[in-house]
Amino acid sequence: MQIVVFGAGSLGSLLGAVLAREHEVTLVAREAHADAVRADGIRLEGELEAVVHPRATTDGAGLEADLAVVAVKAFDTESAAKTLATGRFDAVLSVQNGMGNEATLAESLEAPVLSGTVTYGAILREPGFVECTGVGEITLGPRDGGRSSLATAVGEAFERAGLETTVAEDMPVRRWRKLAVNAGINPITALTATENGAVLESPANAVARAATRETARTARATGVSLSNRDALEAMESVAAETRANTSSMAQDVLAGRRTEIDSISGYVVDRAAEHGLEVPTNRLLADLVRTWEREHARIALGDGRS
């Protein structure tokens, strides 16, 4: 299968490397990443190992392939969608964190948009060198739920490359469950510079559980059947299984990068408001992470007066 992977962060590099063991992969990346991959390929270490040499380009315009895998940060989805729209793909799969990405892609694209969730752990050590910190699972399916032969074909292609893959008919509920996991783990680990296991301990646990419960309640208000118990079990079992991992948002904060708070806690706050619900924990976490982003940007611009 010909696959274009948009984004060479931790997840894009991991998926690009694993898929390139079996398929013809093109990685669309920023210059430093594309240069590193063109020079030496991608080195994958940790729980999965490979050295592969996919094509790499900084220009994603006009590409054609059987599948485009979108692994850019949530706030770059709109720009990725515009670029993807200049090419031709039989299917587009979002494996991004946060909510709203598939809808943004579908607005610009004719190709069917599939939704995916990924529980593999990955840390990008440097451009072209990614560490797999935990073998997890990819779940994918039509973004509105149901079956499609396209989702089955993509699932089989992922399996052939050695990725643990489940093709699911209930992606809306799975996406909300994943959102509840991210809303519980990501902002707290980012704000406290801790690993995922920290949300299992007091006092973070009470905050993580409150954010997760609020997310499940908001999901139900939108018509998605996600119980508090299901969401809490998912959040705590992911935190336990990835206890020693650094969440993507904590990695962003540690590296001084913009975070995906708007499409995680911010998304919960916005959907809750539409349904007249109060979600004070998600609101506070979103406000605190945005405060960090604003202050960090101000200091980085040299306006660090105290």
Report the candidate in 187, 185, 274, 277 with the shortest Cα–Cα distance to residue 236: 185
Signed CA dihedral, 88, 94, 99, 102: sign only? positive
Binding of residue 115 to ligand PAF (CB under 6 A): no
Please say which residue, 255 or 301, places its beta carbon nearer to ligand PAF.
255
Q: Residue type for 37, please?
A: V
Binding of residue 97 to ligand PAF (CB under 6 A): yes
Q: Residue type for 93, please?
A: L
Q: What is the token pair recorded at 65?
A: 């392939």
CA pair distance 164, 191, nearest whole angstrom: 31
Beta bridge partners of 182: none
Are 113 and 92 in contact, with CB atoms under 8 Å apart? yes
Please say which residue, 41 or 134, places its beta carbon nearer to ligand PAF.
134
Of residues 42, 71, 207, 238, which one binds ligand PAF by CB under 6 A? 238
Of residues 245, 263, 281, 282, which one binds ligand PAF by CB under 6 A? 245
Please say which residue, 52 or 123, places its beta carbon nearer to ligand PAF.
123
Using CB under 6 A as the binding rule, the residues of this chain from 160 to 219 that contact ligand PAF are: 181-182, 185-186, 196
Q: Which helix (DSSP H) or strand (DSSP E) does residue 287 occupy?
A: helix 280-300
Q: Which stretch binds ligand PAF (CB under 6 A): 78-86, 208-216, 244-252, 279-287?
A: 244-252
Annotated catalytic residue 178: yes
Contacts with ligand PAF by CB under 6 A lie at 97, 181-182, 185-186, 196, 238, 242, 245, 247-248
Active centre residues (catalytic): 178
